Structure 1
Amino acid sequence: MTWATTADPNAFATIDVLRRRPVMDLTAALPFSPTPHSIVDLCCGAGQLSRLLAARWPQANVLAVDHSPAMLRWAADTPSRVRYQQADLGEWRPHWPVDLVISVGGLHHVGGHERLFPDLLQSLGPGGVLAVALPRPQAQTAHRLLLETAADGPWSDRLHDAWPAVERTESPSHDAQDYYDWLAPQGAVIDLWETEYFHALDSDVPLLQWLHQSALSPVMDRLTGPELDRFLAAYRCRLETAYPEHSSGGALIPTKWLFLVAQV
């Protein structure tokens, strides 16, 4: 099976259809009535969710925040009324009461959740919602192979600190009980659930990008040109071994997500 290896933002856009289930499941659980007026999308990546929220609530002020300049450049290439901001997500906080703080698939790259999540809850106005979907990459073979590829090559010195220490462990650093214990004392109404998805990918789908859009952003911030291509080729070889093409012509890829919706 031929898996795509280029870090092309257009490839990310074409495969977003396969990422929509976590987005749909999280946004379907949002308890909004009336319409939110201020929305912050954290770890916005290429901005797909930000633009979806702006279209769903045309009167809302939508701010999308990400740490990666590469991702924000790609996001800004698509015209929209969304505002984008580059920031250290471990330290950045809204400075005004927000109706919705949302994140799908990015905050697991940010450490200090025991401080971050209560801070985000406190940034909400009355009735505000914190909604987060956290992939559980530590339990996935693809995540382990990504870290192995980063450590094994001429790029290792530039990638040794690309991911927080919590991501280099063998198991998720926090479970649902942790998040409940951090947020419940603040009087929030909390809904927590975990889902495992199984995605059938065929040779037309770029497995490499689909598995790790957000996880690859630190690589693309540090490596460029031929060296980036060599890294992606090395990672692809490991993925092809771990996720071989089956007799059906595709590969079945499991992914686990933890969902949290907390309302003030």
Structure 2
Amino acid sequence: MEWNPAQTLKFAGPRLQPGLDLITRLPDIAPKRIVDLGCGSGALAAQLAERWPRAAVTGLDRDRNALREARATHPDLDWVEADIADWAPAEPVDLIFSNAALQWVEGHEALFPRLLSFLAPGGVLAVQMPRNFDAPSHVLMRALATEPPWAGKIRLRRPPVGMPSAYYDLLAPRSAALDIWETEYLHVLKGDNPVLHWVRGTALLPVMAALSGPELDAFIATYASRLAQAYPPQPDGSTLFPFRRLLLLARVAA
């Protein structure tokens, strides 16, 4: 599943806003080393570098297309091609930041304590993940994947993002300070069936990897029709797309 810059950046503003909101909530620290896990095209890593110009900022992603865009746009930062699940820093990190990436990584019960263990004393883990998987955009896709002729051909995993309370139970005993909250963003989208174009850059990627040709075209046409009914346009032509996200800040003891 490769990142498509043109598709994803169609909604760059709404996609980046939760990460920007998370940055505004970061505590007043003086980090020496910052790592952005799942940095994508690098826009938020650049924001972190702007806030802390003396810090060494590294953006990490496994998608070469995303990193190519990041290197072209922000050549002054450090970009690393790697998988979050396998990543381990050579030395402790003061800020580990991740926006809309950890939902792709399995095993949060082990992953989050592992990330905390990489922090320097007083270090911060800052994470934003979608928690919108019971919305019509996802429910309709999962249901369609079980219907003929596509049944058994598409593996649509449910992302491992848990309830906020699960992250509290996991992180509170290991943190000196912990803040967890949810925000439901109401994205106002323009164009014809814009929710379809939104999910083309994210949730629809496994479908596009599993199917091709007329079979893929038929799936997308049926899905598009159902999406249009679930997300009808407003009188002014805009489409409202509610999207729930989970955000957390965990700080280890100094």
How many Å separate the matches in 2 of 1:150 and 1:41? 33
Match of 2:238 in 1: 250
Match of 2:130 in 1: 135
Q: Which of 189, 194, 198 is matched with 2:182 structurally?
A: 194
1:1-264 to structure 2, matched below 5 A, reads 9-34=5-30, 36-148=31-143, 159-160=154-155, 164=157, 166-167=158-159, 174-203=162-191, 206-211=194-199, 213-218=201-206, 235-264=223-252
How many Å separate the matches in 1 of 2:221 and 2:69? 22
Task: Provide structure 1 residue ranges, at least 5 long, that are not aligned to the other structure.
Answer: 1-6
Shift of 1:23: 1.6
- TM-score normalised per structure 2: 0.81
Contact 2:33/2:57 (CA < 8 Å) preserved in 1?
A: yes
| RMSD over equivalenced CA pairs, Å | 3.1
Shift of 1:154: 7.6
How many Å separate the matches in 2 of 1:83 and 1:155? 42
Match of 1:3 in 2: none
Compared CA separation, residues 142 and 101, structure 1 to 2 (3 A): same
Contact 1:70/1:220 (CA < 8 Å) preserved in 2?
A: no
Greater relative contact order (Cα < 8 A, sep 6+): 1
Contact 1:15/1:205 (CA < 8 Å) preserved in 2?
A: no
| Paired residue total | 250
How many Å separate the matches in 2 of 1:58 and 1:237? 48
Q: Once the two structures are aligned, what percentage of the paired residues are identical?
A: 43
- TM-score normalised per structure 1: 0.79
How many Å separate the matches in 1 of 2:40 and 2:97? 13
Secondary structure in structure 2 of the residue aligned to 1:15: helix
Compared CA separation, residues 88 and 233, structure 1 to 2 (3 A): farther
Per-residue Cα deviation, 1:93-135 (whole angstroms, up to 9, x for no partner) = 3232001111111211211101100110110011110000111
